[in-house]
Amino acid sequence: MIIKIVTVSSNTFVQLGLRRIFEGHSGAVVVGECPRGAAARDLVEKERPDLIVVDLESDMSQFDVGLLRQGAPHARIVVLTGWADMERGRQALEAGADVIMMKCQPASLLLAIIESMAKSPGAPVSHPRTLVFKQDRGGTPPAQPEAPASHSKMETLTERERAVAALIGQGLSNRDIAERLFISETTVRHHLTSIFDKVGVSNRQKLLLLVHRWKLAELNVPA
């Protein structure tokens, strides 16, 4: 099954990046690109895509997402956003989007969605290790993945562990963190293992949510 995709973004670089991601997958084809909501509805009604990828940071609103849902009731809608727009992301879910993804997450997540759709046409997209939020069509707005809310757990982290957590929140990879802090990638992994244990999370994505909940991502980490 070939997954037909429409991308919606007024940012040329985002459009180019999405096109490159999808062109590298034999099971996907981009059938249309559009800068904003009103014209996008006409496009999806014409092309009848299986997947619509919406850049929420390009003057899009939950109203636009609702229009896309009306124009393509059977398509899956993935919303790309940043941490500053999480409230708008939640509103987009309520308007009909299926998934919110953070722009700091790897492109492999989008490809995982395509593979999931190809294997199970019509089923809700799901990749529990990586997708941040998912809306079950007709269900209730999603909750954040389980993570302890106690701010006191942050105080158990060492200064170096806080720096590592802050850089995770800023979207850096283990290699980038190692270079930034002048340590090895192995040491970064050891710090992450310790952080996971102290704050009570089991993976990087849950830590990412917790870091932003505690505003650790705003910590100024010296280069």
Sheet with strand 3-8: strands edge to edge: 28-34, 3-8, 51-55, 76-81, 99-102, 133-134
Residue 11 has pLDDT above 80, yes or no: yes
Lowest mean pLDDT among 77-86, 117-126, 129-138, 151-160: 129-138
180 and 78 co-located in one domain: no
Residue 81 β-bridge partners: 102
Contact of 219 with 166, CB cutoff 8 Å: yes
Contact of 69 with 40, CB cutoff 8 Å: no
Last residue of a domain, one of 134, 165, 190: 134
Residue 79 lies in a domain: yes
CATH number of the domain where residue 181 is located: 1.10.10.10
Secondary structure element (H or E) that encloses residue 65, with its range: helix 62-71
The residue segments making up the domain with residue 203 are 151-218
pTM metric for this prediction = 0.59
103 and 160 co-located in one domain: no
60 and 20 co-located in one domain: yes
User: 46-65 burial, b for 16+ CB within 10 Å, e for fewer?
Assistant: ebebbbbbbbbbbebebebb
CATH number of the domain where residue 122 is located: 3.40.50.2300
Last residue of a domain, one of 134, 167, 185: 134
107 and 186 co-located in one domain: no
pLDDT-based confidence at residue 215 (cuts at 50, 70, 90): confident
Residue 146 lies in a domain: no
